[in-house]
Amino acid sequence: MHVPVTLVYGSLLGLIYVFLSLKVTRARKADKVEIGTGNSDAVERAVRTHANFIEYVPIALILIGLLESAGAADALIRWLAGGLIVGRLLHIWGFNQPNQPHKGRILGTLITWLVILVTSLDGLYLGLGL
């Protein structure tokens, strides 16, 4: 039985998303913030880390899945999906460091952009039959 690579990596990303969601909930509860960020740095960081994840991961994962379904090399799919996870974890870690901008945040963002760029270009290559 062939298990799609994007199913495994997407599931890992789903677990990270739940972790980030719980961090938002804990920060809101600790600082007694129902809606918005309540001028709390902890809530603001949790909310922005969560939001940044959801802003980038869906398009990257969709593109990786589409490449996989189009028959792109399995090794490429694994590198891209693994890169997305590494990029997002670096971003999460770096974003939550006191000294900003942090190298982890910057590197995580660059890796994520690179994954989206490579998947987009390869998708055009495969899709247009170049």
Residue-wise pLDDT for 113-122, tens only, equals 999 999 999 9
Per-residue pLDDT, 3? 78
Per-residue pLDDT, averaged over 94-105, amounts to 88
Per-domain residue ranges for the chain? 5-128
**Max alpha carbon distance in the chain (Å)?**
56
pTM of structure:
0.91
Instruction: Please state whether the peptide bond connecting residue 98 to the residue before it is cis, i.e. omega within 30 degrees of 0.
Output: no
Whether domain 5-128 has CATH 1.10.490.10: the reply is no
- pLDDT at residue 74 greater than cutoff 80: yes
Among candidate residues 88, 130, 81, the one with its CA nearest the CA of residue 107: 88
